[in-house]
Structure 1
Amino acid sequence: MESPKGVLASLWNFICFLPIFSGLLILGTIKGIIFCPLICLIMTIGNSAIILGLWPAHGAWTYYCIVRAKRLGPVLKLVICICVLPLLLILWPAVGILASIIGGAAYGFLSPIFATFDAAGEGKTNKLLHCFYDGTRGTIEGSLTTVRDFGDVCYHSYFSYMDDLRQKGPPDVDYYDIRLLYLPAAVIAGVLGSIIDLPLISLIAICKGPYMLLKGWHRLFQDLIGREGPFSETICVPFAGLAILLWPLAVVGAVLCSMAASIFLGSYAGVVVYQESSIWFGLCYIVASLSIYDEYSNDVLGMPEGSIMPRPHFRKKNVLSRTSSLASSFSRPNSFLNAPSRTVSLKHTMVELKPLELLDRLFKEMQRQGEIMVSEGLITLQDVVDAKSDNGSQVISIGLPAYCLLQMLLRSAKANSVGLLFADNVTEITSTNRPEDTIFDWFLHPLLIIRDQIKAANLSEAEEYCFSKFVLLFGDPVRLKNSNIGSPPESDRKRAELDALARRLQGITKSISRYPTFRRRFGCLVKSLSDDLAKKNGSYSRSSNNEPKTILRSKSAFGRMFGQKSSMNKTSNDKEPQQVVRDHVGIL
């Protein structure tokens, strides 16, 4: 939408929009008032049942994983089990139920308002009908979906995270324990830092409050007149207009949040004392924390950079700049450091992507590749049966999405893409259209690194085919050994590199599988693959689910396949303690 030119045109456009805005706001508010109690009741009852039902299993399994964790020392385990876990287990039901009540009420009230304004947006047909209908049934279905996803996170994702904690990590992973000798000095420094930083940081925040108020109003009114920023989209107009009226409250809230944050910022001095084993560095940090907050607030408010306050070094080594750059690259990779301009050229259409849209594309590609693999016999009946079970199938749940991600990386490397190229060879994730989500960067940045490594490896077609099938069957060593996946790389170094890349892809895929919506979508995928197998092979017996299976494990799959020495141990058919806990819970 082009912004109207001229003050009079902008004013007339704003006056004409007021009646429409008021009508949509009133209609959406009425729907929100009607559906708010129902949605709040659904989410509160559903989430509360999940929290209370799984609370004994969560408590028992958490204690078991903490005690068996190889990366935690005995003193740290004792402190966690005696001091931390009981408090968390007591607070979790209360906090979870309270959050469900507040979240349900907010979702039930705001979702109909959002849907009403979205129904009146550009490109919509039959707007009058959708203004009344949108936000009714969709809000109810959304609340039920939220409860379902919350249950998947509590039942599947949580146990998966705890399994990672319990299992032994790689040799280069740090070992954590508590040094009791430095605890008293750390506690004293933390308390002293909070006492000093609270009044001083509060004073800085109060002094910068008026500047934040005036600059925020100036920016909002400027966007209002030109229909830019939050006022460019119809669905955002009511909340952007409300932001103008409530901006003073936002400023007060920012000041109060700064006061609260100063307590934690000052208490970090205890961490510095503990890490550096020096009370002097803790005192230096208390002084430097004021400069750190001053510089950060200047950056947020667009004020001149730097600070007039002293900033002494509080580390034995000069790791401050390295830590800052590391944190910056972790939250926003190097390819994303240059943020896109606020005003995008209208000559070039930019397709903005959302995290859920990216997940939809991934599952569509998994659906397409899964149908091909079913026809080729790579995905078998046993894989589908295992995918429906509690343990899941490594080939479908991890191998198939990792295979699809690998095809995207290969496609991007061949096309010399600056981002990641989807299967349509048109849509691309770049620094300008990526979802503005820090969690999304945790997955995107490693994938970009793997893409560059694949490009540098310069794989042949035979090596690409071998590597793709290896990633698919990585979780089933028996089938990987017996399958004809093509000629391996001749170089031992390239074999090791591809083995490491496969493990990284498996790890990234496992992390993605813990997303709240993944489990629900994965169930639909397994059902579709089951239907395809039924059409191919006819009806099948369910008795195969009870057949014993032999699982072989090896240190290096590439080494085992191509003649390197490896060790394979047959595992027992006994159930893992996690499976015993889940059997007692009895929820799927």
Structure 2
Amino acid sequence: MSNSLKQWLNIIYVVFAFCSALFLGALKGILVGPVAGLVVIIGNVGVILGLFPAHVAWTIYTLIKTNRLDAPLKVALLFAMPALFAIWLGLGIVGSVLVGVGYGFFTPWVSAFEAFRKDTECRKFVHCIVDGTWGTIKGSCTVVRDFADICYHSYPIYLKELCESSECSDEPQTLRLVHMPACIIAGLLGLIVDIPLYTVIAIVKSPYMLFKGWYRLLHDVVSREGPFLETACIPIAGFTILLWPIFVIGSILLAIFSSFFIGLYGAVIVYQVTRLSDFYSTLTNFLPKITEDSVFTLRQEKSFQRGVAYVIAMVAEFDEYTNDWLYLREGSILPKPQYRRKRVSHSAEFSIRGNQAAGGKFSSASVEAPAMRMPSLAPSRSVREAIQEVKMVQIWGNMMKSCELRGKELIDANIITTADLNEWSKAKCSSEATIVGVGLPSYSFLHSLLYSIKAGSDGLLLLDGIEVTHLNRPQDRLLDWFFHPIMVLKEQIKVINMGECEMRFLEKIVLFGGDTQRMKAWEHGSTVPQDALRAAQIQGIGRRLIGMTRCISKFPTYRRRFCQVVKALILYSIEEEGSTRLSSIRSVTSIEIV
């Protein structure tokens, strides 16, 4: 068969596959979309309205109880609460509707195109018909479950940590009533200026974004680059060309939506500059000779002017960002005044702050990692390279599998009991049952790092042998916040070079936290280092591990998956107790017979 005939057959196959996936995907979207969409909309709206009184009560209680805010600032926030809760209701309900419609209709459609990445031809068309039907409905239930976890579990944890962190804060946030008019005017000015200008810039540049995207995708079709490198993925790329106008409309709506919060942030800028000015004014009372010039200069720079400068500069920065994203001219023709004395550098620093609670709770956990340079990647990778990328599903699965294995080991050693597992299941949030909710995943995470170090891995080595590095890690913003500090923590553990007894001591710290009674009861050869500095280093590593686990536990997907792990461990613990009782009964019976 000649090459030209093969190319024509290949083209015919691609056209036939694209048309089939387009028709079947649209049909599945029409049939399955309303059901899945209604599940998401009714479920999420029900969660929002059902928990709304509790959210109001939790928030007001936390605002009153916390010591991080002074009385005037608390009063100002209490007056702003009705508007904030109204925004939450409006955005929550509208967002639920958009997510329900988008997920219910487009998920079956996309699954029809994804089916053509299967191995055999018969499987492709079978999956094109079957995929995205019942799975979409189940996925909509999962979306509601994860959203409920955020509202019912994660949000109270944030509020509780806010109250507990106020006990360790040195200076509360203050607000003088005389500064409130400037903050309010700056916030309103930000809304009046930023929202219309953001909208105009997004609409004016949207035609260019539309045709630029189409041109790029069609260029990849002709040159067989990017997503069109492999024949099996051409239908998916064709689907991207078809839906590109929807992406453009979505980017316009996202720009308008973000401009609302960016404009309101002008009030925060005024507040921050005001506090800085008050700080320097207080400092002059003690060091008048040293700070006289700097205070005089700062007083000349009024905070309201900085707020106005921020509002104008944000429009120029948005214009500059869109120019860079669309490969237009560099910079912006709009004015960009400086609204801070010093530019804040965007470093890759990572900070997690937990808090110490009484009665066997975990102590404060903080993670601070220096910036790390990432290897520059090409802006567009081929589909073959993207397939080799480790997916977040694999990482979640390995994390939960590791927790289950380590939990079974601790149950066998009688370190974790059925009562501990039941306590976590009945607890409202993970911090109420720290040994299972925080200690077990921290203990598992520690052993994952030690496993990677012993294997000589450059990244993080998972249980199934998959190595997650800077090159193949998932391109996810949330993972970026954790991957850099994890690598730094791994290097710190490697540099410390702990002995076996010190490693056992670290295991106690991450598993039991501040529960000294449980730590003393677990005799497994651990010793506290005699050197105070080395002991502090090991305890610091333990606090960082606990801090990372606390942050990860707030993710909705985490709680749903960890619930399955705890259920499996409860069943395993009951089976172990039953087998132990059975063996004891048999031993007693044999003694009586003798």
2:447 maps to 1:451: no
Instruction: For 2:41 and 2:187, locate their aligned partners in 1 and report how far apart those are by CA, in whole Å.
Output: 38
Give the structure 1 partner of residue 410 of structure 2. Answer: 373
- Selected match of 2:561 from 521, 532, 535: 521
What secondary structure is seen at the aligned counterpart in 1 of 2:487?
helix
Contact between 2:117 and 2:233, CA under 8 Å: does it hold in 1? no
Give the structure 2 partner of residue 356 of structure 1. Answer: 393
- Selected match of 1:179 from 169, 176, 189: 176
Give the structure 2 partner of residue 77 of structure 1. Answer: 74
> What's the CA shift for 1:287?
5.4
> Which segment drifts farther, 18-27 or 206-215?
206-215
After superposition, the Cα gap between the structure-2 partners of 1:324 and 1:371, relative to the gap in structure 1 and judged at 3 Å, is: closer
What secondary structure is seen at the aligned counterpart in 2 of 1:373?
helix
Deviations 1:222-276 (CA, angstroms, capped at 9, x unpaired): 2222444344578975564354356566557656765775666566544433322
Give the structure 1 partner of residue 541 of structure 2. Answer: 501
Give the structure 1 partner of residue 447 of structure 2. Answer: 407
Instruction: For 1:430 and 1:529, locate their aligned partners in 2 and report how far apart those are by CA, in whole Å.
Output: 31
Matches within 5 A, 1:140-159: 140-159=137-156
> What's the CA shift for 1:408?
1.9
> What's the CA shift for 1:430?
1.5
> Which segment drifts farther, 401-410 or 286-295?
286-295
What secondary structure is seen at the aligned counterpart in 2 of 1:323?
coil
- Selected match of 2:34 from 33, 37, 54: 37
- Selected match of 1:538 from 574, 578, 591: 578
Instruction: For 1:39 and 1:269, locate their aligned partners in 2 and report how far apart those are by CA, in whole Å.
Output: 40
Contact between 1:11 and 1:225, CA under 8 Å: does it hold in 2? no
Give the structure 1 partner of residue 378 of structure 2. Answer: 341
> What's the CA shift for 1:540?
10
Deviations 1:463-482 (CA, angstroms, capped at 9, x unpaired): 11221232112253321133
Gaps of 5+ in 1: 1-5, 542-588
After superposition, the Cα gap between the structure-2 partners of 1:389 and 1:234, relative to the gap in structure 1 and judged at 3 Å, is: farther
Percent identical pairs in the alignment equals 39
After superposition, the Cα gap between the structure-2 partners of 1:334 and 1:167, relative to the gap in structure 1 and judged at 3 Å, is: closer
Q: How many residues align?
A: 530
> For residue 225 of structure 1, what is the amino acid of its counterpart?
V
> For residue 28 of structure 2, what is the amino acid of its counterpart?
K
Give the structure 1 partner of residue 339 of structure 2. Answer: 314
> What's the CA shift for 1:151?
2.4
What secondary structure is seen at the aligned counterpart in 2 of 1:178?
coil
What secondary structure is seen at the aligned counterpart in 1 of 2:111?
helix
Instruction: For 2:162 and 2:543, locate their aligned partners in 1 and report how far apart those are by CA, in whole Å.
Output: 18
Instruction: For 1:68 and 1:138, locate their aligned partners in 2 and report how far apart those are by CA, in whole Å.
Output: 45
After superposition, the Cα gap between the structure-2 partners of 1:387 and 1:79, relative to the gap in structure 1 and judged at 3 Å, is: same
Give the structure 2 partner of residue 63 of structure 1. Answer: 60
- Selected match of 1:460 from 468, 484, 499: 499
> Which segment drifts farther, 91-100 or 249-258?
249-258
- Selected match of 1:386 from 423, 432, 438: 423
> For residue 522 of structure 2, what is the amino acid of its counterpart?
S
Deviations 1:418-438 (CA, angstroms, capped at 9, x unpaired): 3222234x3222222212221
Deviations 1:526-545 (CA, angstroms, capped at 9, x unpaired): 2221222222221899xxxx
After superposition, the Cα gap between the structure-2 partners of 1:236 and 1:72, relative to the gap in structure 1 and judged at 3 Å, is: farther
Matches within 5 A, 1:469-508: 469-474=508-513, 476-485=515-524, 486-508=526-548
2:99 maps to 1:103: yes
Deviations 1:97-142 (CA, angstroms, capped at 9, x unpaired): 4433332232222222233233332325633433322222222222
After superposition, the Cα gap between the structure-2 partners of 1:456 and 1:235, relative to the gap in structure 1 and judged at 3 Å, is: same
Give the structure 1 partner of residue 306 of structure 2. Answer: 281
Instruction: For 2:264 and 2:151, locate their aligned partners in 1 and report how far apart those are by CA, in whole Å.
Output: 32
> Which segment drifts farther, 228-237 or 141-150?
228-237
> Which segment drifts farther, 174-183 or 487-496?
174-183
Deviations 1:298-333 (CA, angstroms, capped at 9, x unpaired): 3212345445666443323x2x1x433468999x99
What secondary structure is seen at the aligned counterpart in 2 of 1:314?
coil
> Which segment drifts farther, 196-205 or 218-227?
196-205
After superposition, the Cα gap between the structure-2 partners of 1:447 and 1:99, relative to the gap in structure 1 and judged at 3 Å, is: same
> For residue 68 of structure 1, what is the amino acid of its counterpart?
K
> What's the CA shift for 1:37?
1.9
> For residue 273 of structure 1, what is the amino acid of its counterpart?
V
Contact between 2:14 and 2:231, CA under 8 Å: does it hold in 1? no
Deviations 1:155-207 (CA, angstroms, capped at 9, x unpaired): 22222122112223474576333233333334444555665666776776677
Matches within 5 A, 1:411-450: 411-424=451-464, 426-450=465-489
> What's the CA shift for 1:348?
8.8
> What's the CA shift for 1:442?
2.0
Instruction: For 2:383 and 2:137, locate their aligned partners in 1 and report how far apart those are by CA, in whole Å.
Output: 38
Contact between 1:117 and 1:234, CA under 8 Å: does it hold in 2? no
> For residue 165 of structure 1, what is the amino acid of its counterpart?
L
Instruction: For 1:102 and 1:301, locate their aligned partners in 2 and report how far apart those are by CA, in whole Å.
Output: 26
TM-score by structure 2 length? 0.78
Instruction: For 2:269 and 2:320, locate their aligned partners in 1 and report how far apart those are by CA, in whole Å.
Output: 20
> For residue 117 of structure 1, what is the amino acid of its counterpart?
F
Give the structure 2 partner of residue 552 of structure 1. Answer: none
> For residue 470 of structure 1, what is the amino acid of its counterpart?
I
Deviations 1:1-34 (CA, angstroms, capped at 9, x unpaired): xxxxx99977763443011111122112112111
Give the structure 2 partner of residue 549 of structure 1. Answer: none
2:83 maps to 1:87: yes
Gaps of 5+ in 2: 275-301, 353-368, 582-594
Give the structure 2 partner of residue 547 of structure 1. Answer: none
After superposition, the Cα gap between the structure-2 partners of 1:349 and 1:378, relative to the gap in structure 1 and judged at 3 Å, is: same
TM-score by structure 1 length? 0.79
Instruction: For 1:7 and 1:409, locate their aligned partners in 2 and report how far apart those are by CA, in whole Å.
Output: 53
After superposition, the Cα gap between the structure-2 partners of 1:470 and 1:109, relative to the gap in structure 1 and judged at 3 Å, is: same
> For residue 271 of structure 2, what is the amino acid of its counterpart?
Y
Matches within 5 A, 1:130-209: 130-169=127-166, 171=168, 175-192=172-189
What secondary structure is seen at the aligned counterpart in 1 of 2:69?
coil
> Which segment drifts farther, 270-279 or 34-43?
270-279
Deviations 1:484-542 (CA, angstroms, capped at 9, x unpaired): 2412222111211222221221121122112212222222212221222222221899x
Deviations 1:546-575 (CA, angstroms, capped at 9, x unpaired): xxxxxxxxxxxxxxxxxxxxxxxxxxxxxx
> What's the CA shift for 1:406?
1.0
Instruction: For 1:389 and 1:31, locate their aligned partners in 2 and report how far apart those are by CA, in whole Å.
Output: 40
- Selected match of 2:114 from 86, 103, 118: 118
After superposition, the Cα gap between the structure-2 partners of 1:204 and 1:478, relative to the gap in structure 1 and judged at 3 Å, is: same
> For residue 323 of structure 1, what is the amino acid of its counterpart?
S
Instruction: For 2:180 and 2:8, locate their aligned partners in 1 and report how far apart those are by CA, in whole Å.
Output: 64
> What's the CA shift for 1:380?
1.7
Matches within 5 A, 1:570-581: none
> What's the CA shift for 1:370?
1.4
